[in-house]
Chain A
Amino acid sequence: MDVLSGWWDDYFWGAVVVGQVFICSLGLMIIFGLFGAMAKLSNNRVAQKIAGAYTVIFRGTPEILVILLLYFGSAITLTAIAQIFSPEIKFVDVPPFWAGTIAISIIVGSYATETFRGAFLGVNPGSIEAARALGMSDLQTFIYVRIPEMWRLALPPFGNHMLSLIKDTALISIIGLNETMFVAKQAITVTGKPFTMYIVVGAIYLGFSTIITLAVMGIEKFGERTTVGAK
Chain B
Amino acid sequence: MSTSDAQPLIQMQGVNKFFGSFQALKNINLEVRKGERIVVCGPSGSGKSTMIRCINRLEDHNDGHIIIDGKELTDQVKDINAVRREVGMVFQSFNLFPHMTIVKNLMLAQQLVRKIPKAEARETAMHYLKRVKIPEQAEKYPIALSGGQQQRVAIARALCMKPEIMLFDEPTSALDPEMINEVLEVMVDLAKEGMTMICVTHEMGFARSVADRIIFMDEGEIVEEAAPAQFFDNPKSERTKKFLSQILSH
Partners in one complex: yes
- Chain A residues close to B by CB (< 8 Å): 124, 126-127, 129-137, 140, 144-145, 148-149, 152, 225-231
Q: Kindly state whether residue B56 has any CB partner on chain A within 8 Å.
A: yes
Highest count of chain B CB atoms <10 Å: which of A129, A130, A148, A152:
A130
Q: Within 8 Å CB of A149, what residues of B?
A: 97-99
CB–CB B144/A230 < 8 A: yes
CA distance A86 to B158 in the complex (A): 65
The answer to whether B84 touches A130, judged by C-beta atoms less than 8 angstroms apart, is: no
6 A-B pairs with CB atoms under 8 Å apart are A126-B91, A127-B96, A129-B91, A134-B157, A136-B113, A227-B98
Q: Does B95 contact A (CB under 8 A)?
A: yes
Are B93 and A131 in contact, CB atoms less than 8 angstroms apart? no
- Judge whether B62 is part of the interface by a CB distance below 8 angstroms: no
Nearest-CB residue, chain A, relative to B109 = A134
Contacts of B141 in A (CB 8 A): 225-227, 230
> Which residues from chain B contact A144 at a C-beta distance below 8 Å?
97, 108, 112
Query: When each residue 91-121 of chain B gets 1 if its CB lies under 8 Å from chain A and 0 otherwise, what string results?
Result: 1011111111000000011001100000000
Known: A132-B58, A149-B98. 14 other contacts (CB 8 A): A126-B91, A127-B95, A129-B91, A130-B95, A130-B154, A131-B109, A133-B89, A133-B91, A134-B113, A134-B158, A136-B108, A226-B143, A230-B144, A231-B143
Give the number of residues in B that approach A within 8 Å (Cβ atoms).
31
A229 to B95, CA, bound (A): 20
Given A148-B99, A226-B98, A230-B140, A130:B112 Cβ within 8 A? no
Task: Give Cα distance in the complex from A137 to B98, angstroms.
Answer: 19
CB contact between B95 and one of A124, A136, A152 (< 8 Å): that residue: A124
Report Cα–Cα, A136/B95, bound state, in Å: 15
Q: In the bound complex, do residue B97 and residue A127 qualify as a contact, i.e. CB atoms below 8 Å apart?
A: yes
Question: Chain A nearest CB: distance from B54 CB in Å?
Answer: 12
Query: B154 contacts which chain A residues (CB < 8 A)?
Result: 130
Q: Which 10 A-B pairs have the closest CB atoms?
A: A230-B144, A134-B109, A126-B95, A130-B95, A135-B84, A133-B89, A135-B85, A135-B113, A226-B141, A148-B99
- Do residues A129 and B113 form an inter-chain contact, with CB atoms below 8 A? no
